[in-house]
Structure 1
Amino acid sequence: MSAIPPSLGRLLSGLCKGCGRHREAYNRTQSRTLTTVFSGIQPTGSLHLGNYFGAVNLWKSLQNDPANHLIISVVDMHAITVPWKPEQLRQNIVQSFIELLACGIDPAKVVLFQQSSVPEHGKLQWIFSCLSSMARVDNLPQFKEKSAVQKEVSCGLFTYPVLQAADILLYKAHLVPVGEDQVQHLQLAQDIARIFNSKCGKLFPTPHRLHSDLPRLKSLRDPTKKMSKSDTDSRSLIQLTDSPGQIREKLKKSVTDFKSEITYDLAERPAIANLLMLYRAVLDVSLEKVLEETSKINKVELKARLAEAVIELLRPVHGKMKELRNDMGYLEQVMAQGTDRARTLASQTMDEVESLAGFRPAKAKISTTVHRQLNSSPTDKESKTLRSS
């Protein structure tokens, strides 16, 4: 296992200045090793700018630090917890790989794979389901929110947080980048890891949330909601596949307010604040720099400048997506290699799980690799924030 990444080490060092308790925590990490970061994305439509700035940029930062072991899964099994069309799902899976590669995810640095191509996910979910109470799963808010808008609720929608736990623990992940809406699901994974370790034998490290200061973009039509692929109003988000004309039109139609000047006030002017945060993310500059640049223009000009900046940002992405669509052989090779790498890791974990759970003859001891991982898990305080560089 490799040493703690310099990016996290520098951050922890900065947090620890002048604080003895935190200094001790930082010193402890110097003799530890950083383990796996796991993340997943559903193939339910094209990625949007919220995904790009909130997830993809974080993944690129993680992959470019050689101390990290990053695993990204296109979680297609999660995509069928709501009504779906098989042909559309097939297209969405391929499109997800195209977009991730076009955005700069490097399959040589990342284990990038399709979830359903690794059957161990489903096997581990079944074992975890037998360790989880219905009351515990029923208490999760995501199920209540999603089931409220469906006529018929599937068992899959009810149990998908257990599948998420299997996704994470199958690779013995220590860090998981999740938003506020997924924190309780990560807590379920922590509980399941604890229950399995207690009942069957120590195997899984406790996964912790990886916080990020990367921007969380809001809907262009309702700034109280996050930008989401599930939004039925296509004008609410800018997708990576949008044409320049569509980008200009969506930003032109984005909601604002009745004041003419450009100011940043998240509480009183959330719509303008959202556009300014998007502008900041696209230009990769400070908010102060954006406010200085926009201090003498009106909202119409702000939207126009922002549109051109987004178009320029996505120009190389569009070019790379076109290139990948014309080279399906390469894309299939990337997907196959990702599956092989993921299955190698997953099968090792399942061998250990099945032995400890009683399905296979007991092994004398768990591998020393597992013990190293258990002993190297960073605490919540030691993994609070990872800043993009």
Structure 2
Amino acid sequence: MSRLAHSVVSPSPMGSSSHKVHTSALSTLPRDLITLGDYSAEQIGALVESAADFKRKVKSEGQAFHPDEPLKGKTIAMLFSKRSTRTRVASETSIAYLGGHAMFLGKEDIQLGVNESLRDSAQVISSMVDGIFARVGAHEEITTLAKYSSVPVVNALCDENHPTQILADLLTIWEVFEKQGGSLFDSVKGLNVAWIGDSNNIVYEMLAAMPKCGMNMSVCTPSKYPIPEGIRQRAQLDAQTAQASVTYCHDPVAAVKGADIIVTDTWVSMGQEAEKAQKMIDFDGYQVSMDLAAKGGANKDWIFMHCLPRKAEEVTDEVFYSDRSVVFQEAENRKWTILAAFNAIFSK
């Protein structure tokens, strides 16, 4: 494959002059990051470019800490109702790099919405910290926290959205498909993304961001797991504006036709373990494999993405550990996009 070298390097167009182009877009970000659906294409691009810039400074130039320490003297509360690996490591190291203090609060540490309402918790916690990074369950939990918090809130995950993950996906795609000297939009516009999997927060967030950036999406879910109509309508409007396309189907072979990027995720999300037996039946034929890509006619340089953790029924080892897979590059990029979001939002 011609693009394999990109799996270990960050994009080259992230020199200081390119980064400065989007300084104004970063300064106009909303106070909170709940979903990329609330952000313009320019704001999304600015965050991804900022993430690439941080990655270059740390990995290529050896910058151990931000020289300006934008979070010096600040405490960021990390409210994690759900356990994590990538999100916790990425966020704590990002806060340290920016000179701040990370306060991890798991579900056993505080009474988030248990003996105290979310509204009360938001008001109390935000009165003592400078920012909140929250990994919760229901979408209403993150919106309630944001509504009643006196400090910015960044969504680490909820059941409808996962913005920092999709920012990391965009950074990864840019690194792989970078056009020489091109911006994020120059490089990703017109790429074909095939989603093969569940109707969940990952594909919802992809639909909130990727069509807006000019990427074409083919979304394949079993008929029992449709994409909500509101999400479809918004994605269609974004696609029309950016001259992109969004299509939906239930046949994985048809979905990967012409795909540059094939993406899947867990079929059984955290808290859905009781549904596993039925989902194994419903998702029969949805495993991503070399055979599926060949039968469907994916583009010759197609790559595979998965936000992890991965289970064998979702993708074969042949794909997951192949040169086509960029899953570990994608996982690392969670740090750089979280770092960019924290720097832009919590340092104001």
TM-score of the superposed pair, with normalisation by structure 1: 0.27
Higher helix content, 1 or 2: 1
Higher strand content, 1 or 2: 2
